[in-house]
Structure 1
Amino acid sequence: MTETPTQTDVAIIGAGPTALFAAFECGMLKLGSVLIDALEEAGGQCTALYPEKPIYDIPAHPAITGGDLIAGLEAQIAPFNVPRLLGQRVVSLAGRRGAFTLTTDRGNTIQARAVIIAAGAGAFGPNRPPLENLDAYENSGCVQYFVRNRAAFAGKKIVIAGGGDSALDWALSLAEIAGHVYLLHRRERFRGAPETLSRIEALAVAGKIEKVVPYQLHGLRGDNGQLAGVDVATLDGQVRTLEADTLLPFFGLSTDLGPIATWGFDTHRNTIPVTPSTLESSVPGIFAIGDVATYPGKLKLILQGFAEGAMAAHAIHPIVHPDTALHFEYSTSKGVP
């Protein structure tokens, strides 16, 4: 808990890739910023969900993992010494354009001239399957919802449950190193790109992946949280046991804006409508970027979030420096302040 409030030009709520780049853009305009995030480390979903999963649509990177992307963004903002308040949520925001006060659930207070909300989809967590004694298997690491270290699954017998992109992508990736991969789905058809589905079929023919369809999770077998098998069942009740020591359920995320939704600005389906040219919300001085922001033509891409961070920083400059004209310069001639 801070004894005196943290003073800054811009309070950035969130510490994912879009938030990190917004901090860089603020630094380039000589705006001080502080990052606040409920997670214990920066990186948002890139760090928490797919640090080793490749991303293919970042400019100049044919492929880059989520972890490497965050490491690069961290290096980029290092010259600006941006403070972080991690492992805490902003629970209240009050004030007006040019003078906001934020408080966190750890008792920290931040005073800022403007606020950027870069909270992604808000607080997120996995949709957990309704299985008996699930907690014990989660605590032992036999049931996991995110792949943080791919090498840890070498030689394992893995059940991957789900029919979407995450399940398919990790089935392809882990089939290269696992002892055996079961791909479980309640329907015959999976939801994926044609190329992905073709690769799944090829690995199934080669015996690298065993498709278990149409089945759904039914129960867990083992002692003291150590998984020995996964029971699966058809819709008409036929039960089969898959010998396995790891279960990876990929049933999507549950998201919640939490206290953000009570701060007085307009929201729409867990997003914040903004003015496209400035990213300002319905409350003057509060901006939203990344997945949490919405406007006509919005694409939920990291690269679009990067551009939004730059636009928001430029829109905030006259709030912090009302008597100083902003003369835009390219970074190649300006350098890092």
Structure 2
Amino acid sequence: MAELPGLGASGVTVDTDVAIIGAGPVGLFAVFECGMLRMRSVVLDALDAIGGQCTALYPEKPIYDIPAHPAIDGAALIEKLEAQAAPFNPLYLLGRRVEKLRQVEGGWELGSSAGDVVRCKAVIIAAGAGAFGPNRPPLDGLAGYEASGAVRYLVAKREEFRGKRVVIAGGGDSAVDWALSLKEIAAKVTVVHRRPKFRAAPESAARLDEAAARGEVEMAIPYQLHGLEGDGARLTGVVLATLKGETKTVAADFLLPFYGLSMELGPIAGWGLGLERSHVGVTPATCETNLPGIHAVGDIATYPGKLKLILQGFAEAAMAAHAIHPRVFPGEALHFEYSTSKGVPHSP
């Protein structure tokens, strides 16, 4: 992963060939396709880790329609895509949302919520269903614990929870999957849910019940999050409450609220793109939008016959990269070559 050049209080200012909005699987593959054509990439994402929905929603759920992988879980797919993009040394700007887009001489300029300025010759929007943000619990002092990492909305490094006391709140797949995973390494895992029935896959919910029966996981049902205890940064306990107002405190080092993600186009909706029911209309052969040099790929892009599959997003990333090449290298003929013939070029 590239180091941030000139990082300051107002973010970074960087010039690149292609700016990629979205670090999900299609955005990561776009880095590879651009790199194969000797084009440099900067990747921006609102989440604090790469991977998009694969990381935030189903890191341990198997995906069955990735070619050459009869089954691969979301986290493993992202790990392989990151490794595939690594030779091209992309710069990842994470935990910030792209808020501004304006045309400048020679291309486009993007501005982020962190004050970053990215100047590029072309843009690939691979933002899935738009910007993701966690649904946060309404708890006093939450921001301080978020800043310290004591409260998190996704798990980037499982090992950070080894020997720790972890409270997981929620009743969906993410909550159940991570409870099953972290019980193997955490000192204690407590699952908080307002009712006994979970919305997770039945097999996973059954495994959680079995783990609870063996004493491997503590179930706090029917409870909801009520408060946080600690010094404002270091967490020591999570206060739980029933609908009747009964409360209890669970000792904790980390709180993982898995209440899903809110998804919206956000500032993208105001950029003058041809929107069709919250999706961006593109020309199928190039994935270019109505704005020259702005391309959209993956779930956010739409055209007749579009399928919302990761593998189709991969193909769109390749088409967009080839369409962008003349903007980055004007006057240079692009002779199509297979990767088996050309190999992987050196980092651009």
Fold match, TM over 0.5?
yes
Tell me if the contact between 2:224 and 2:242 (Cα under 8 Å) persists in the aligned partners: yes
**Amino acid in the other structure paired with 1:35:** V
1:266 aligns with 2:274: yes
Question: Does 2:188 align with 1:180?
Answer: yes
Note if contact 2:169-2:175 (Cα within 8 Å) is conserved in structure 1.
Answer: yes
1:194 aligns with 2:202: yes
Equivalent positions of 1:143-222 (< 5 A) are 143-222=151-230
Q: Give 1:20's match in structure 2, choosing from 2, 23, 28.
A: 28
Structure 1 residues 188 and 47 mapped into 2: Cα distance closer, same or farther (>3 Å)? closer
Q: Deviations over 1:179-202 (max 9, x none)?
A: 322211123221111211121121
TM-fit CA distance, 1:314:
3.9
Q: Contact between 1:226 and 1:245, CA under 8 Å: does it hold in 2? A: yes
SS in 1 for 2:27: helix
Q: In the alignment, what sits opposite 2:39?
A: 32
Shift of 1:204: 1.6
Give distance in 2, aligned partners of 1:158 and 1:108: 38
Kindly provide the amino acid, as one letter, of the partner of residue 110 in structure 1: R
Alpha-carbon offset, residue 203 of structure 1 = 0.9
- Please list every run of 5 or more consecutive structure 1 residues that lacks an aligned counterpart in the other structure: none
Amino acid at match of 1:104: G
Matched, 1:56 2:62: yes
CA offset at residue 162 of structure 1? 0.5
Partner SS state of residue 25, structure 1: helix
Offset at 1:54?
4.0
| SS of the residue 1:168 aligns to | helix
Q: Does 1:227 pair with 2:211?
A: no
Q: 1:244 to 1:300 in 2, by over 3 A?
A: farther
Deviates more, 1:35-44 or 1:277-286: 35-44
2:116 is the alignment partner of 1:110:
no
Once the two structures are superposed, residues 87-121 of structure 1 have per-residue CA deviations (whole angstroms, 9 ceiling, x without a partner) of 6746223279xx63224355746242x43212344
Identity %: 55
The equivalent residue for 2:52 is: 45
Aligned residue for 1:101?
Answer: 108
> Distance in 2 between the 1:334 and 1:228 partners?
55
- CA RMSD, Structure 1 to Structure 2 (Å): 3.8
Deviation of the 1:122 alpha carbon? 4.0
CA shift for structure 1 position 215: 1.9
Aligned counterpart, 2:134: 126
2:93 is matched with: 86
Contact 1:46 1:70 in 2 (8 A): no
Give the aligned residue type for 1:91.
Answer: K
Contact 1:40 1:86 in 2 (8 A): no
Report whether the alignment pairs 1:311 with 2:284. no
Which structure 2 residue ranges, 5 or more long, are not aligned? 1-5, 7-12
Question: Equivalents in 2 of 1:323, 1:301: separation in Å?
Answer: 34
Query: How far 1:152 moved relative to its partner?
Result: 2.6
User: Distance in 1 between the 2:303 and 2:171 partners?
Assistant: 30
Q: Whole-Å Cα distance in 1 between the matches of residues 52 and 231 of structure 2?
A: 32
* C-alpha contact 1:124 1:256 (8 A) present in aligned 2: yes
- Partner Cα distance (2:126, 2:160) in 1: 32
Structure 1 residues 262 and 174, CA, compared in 2 at 3 Å: closer, same or farther? same
TM-score normalised by L of structure 1: 0.78
- The count of aligned residue pairs is 328
Q: What's the counterpart of residue 280 of structure 1?
A: 288
Q: 1:139 to 1:231 in 2, by over 3 A?
A: same
In 1, Cα distance between equivalents of 2:304 and 2:245: 46
Q: Compared with structure 1, are the counterparts of its residues 286 and 171 closer, same or farther at alpha carbon in structure 2 (3 Å cutoff)?
A: same
Question: What is the alpha-carbon distance in structure 2 between the residues aligned to residue 182 and residue 202 of structure 1?
Answer: 14
Measure how far apart 1:231 and its partner are: 2.3
Would the alpha carbon gap of residues 249 and 332 (structure 1) be closer, same or farther in structure 2, given more than 3 Å must change?
same
Deviations 1:97-156 (A, max 9, x none): xx63224355746242x4321234444332221112223433444322222332232333
SS of the aligned residue for 1:237 comes to coil
Q: Contact 1:95 / 1:101 at 8 angstroms: preserved in 2? A: yes
Given that 1:121 and 1:257 are in contact with CA atoms closer than 8 Å, whether structure 2 keeps it comes out as yes
User: Does the aligned pair in 1 maintain the 2:47–2:133 contact within 8 Å?
Assistant: no
Cα distance in 2 for partners of 1:322, 1:221 equals 59
